[in-house]
Amino acid sequence: MLAFAPLHDAVGAAGAAVTWLSDLLAPLTGGAATAAAIVLFTIGVRLLISPLTMAQVRGERRRAALAPEVRELQRRYADDPARLQSELFGLYRRAGASPVAGCLPALLQAPFFLVMYRLFATGEGGGGLLDERLAGVPLGWHLGDGLSGPVVLVFGLLLAALTGLAWAQSRRARRLAAATGTVAGAPAEGPGAATLGRIVPLLPYATVLVALVVPLAAVVYLVTTTAWTVGEQLVLRREPSTNVDTSRGGA
């Protein structure tokens, strides 16, 4: 248990911050103060880790700049996967880039998201956070706890928003794969690429599935952090220009 002490302490500190924000917002937002505090705290954390996001974006842009050369290598060595892999890694090495650029910043962000999930999905360190309400629905309520008018309305709106955000992420994943010639950093024509190309655009919808089994507080968090991610993609991760026909990619 000692090994998890830093995580427990971090969750406790996050819970204290959300409680403080909730008390601060109560005069303005009334009964929705805790939900509003979750939104603001989530935004604050995303701002805190924005340097990691910028590092990830720089890696993606370096990889995107090599897309024409990547596609040419894929065409030239389409029948020789081993040679294709060798040539691709040589290209990235000479350019000072990496086919998996951005993975390290993404991994460094993981502990922050783990703390947020523990706080909002279990209420650990948050005192009575999950006992608070949003539009009459306790923040600790799961869809499996029963359906009523307020539950259907609140969860329905949040799930609809989350589904729309997942669609936007999926659409961008397909466009980015077409523009860069890679899927999640792997060559789009390499072994297993077809399977990977079908799976990656579906991954954003996993968030919707998670939202079906976690409490309302965690759903509010998921909608907020996903919306922030989509906003980052629009502002920071503009899709590189391409002449590739994306009509077959389900844009």
Residue 193: predicted pLDDT: 56
Among the ranges given (31-35, 55-59, 223-227), the one the predictor scored with the smallest mean pLDDT = 55-59
Of 194, 238, 47, 215, nearest to 124 by C-alpha is 215
- Token couple for 91: 């290209």
The token pair at 168 is 């936007």
CA dihedral 174, 167, 251, 191 (to 10 degrees): 30
pLDDT of residue 163: 95
Q: Give the H/E segment covering residue 235.
A: helix 216-235
Question: How confident is the model at residue 189, as a pLDDT?
Answer: 52
Number of domains in the chain: 1
Structural domain that includes position 32: 2-249
> Distance (Å, rounded) from C-alpha 27 to C-alpha 16?
19
Q: Examine the pLDDT at 243 and tell me if it is beyond 70.
A: no
Tens digit of each residue's pLDDT (9 = 90 or more) over 124-138: 776 788 889 999 999
pLDDT of residue 164: 95
Residue 200: both structure tokens together: 């990656």
Please state, in angstroms and as integers, the Cα–Cα distance from residue 178 to each residue in 169, 187, 203, 229, 235, following that order.
Answer: 14, 11, 17, 21, 20
The residue with tokens 């499996």 is 144
CA distance 162 to 207: 8
Share of the chain above pLDDT 90, in %: 28
pLDDT band at 117 (very low <50, low <70, confident <90, very high): confident
Of 126 and 79, which is predicted with more confidence? 79
Q: Is the pLDDT of residue 161 over 90?
A: yes
* pLDDT tens column, 36-50: 999 999 999 889 888
CA dihedral 247, 100, 207, 157 (to 10 degrees): -60
Separation in Å, CA 30 to CA 27, 59, 77, 219? 6, 43, 63, 20
Mean pLDDT, the chain, integer: 79
| pLDDT confidence band for 53 (50 / 70 / 90) | confident
Would you state the pLDDT for residue 246?
A: 38
Q: Which of the four pLDDT bands, split at 50, 70 and 90, describes residue 80?
A: confident
pLDDT in tens, 189-240: 555 556 666 777 788 898 999 999 999 999 999 999 999 988 987 887 555 4
Helices 50-65 and 103-122 cross at an angle (nearest 10°) of 140
> Does residue 103 surpass a pLDDT of 80?
no
The pLDDT assigned to 77 comes to: 83
Tell me the whole-structure pTM to 2 decimals: 0.73
Confidence of residue 248 (pLDDT cuts 50, 70, 90): very low
Instruction: Give the whole-angstrom CA distance, residue 173 versus residue 230.
Output: 11
3-state secondary structure (DSSP) of residue 237: coil
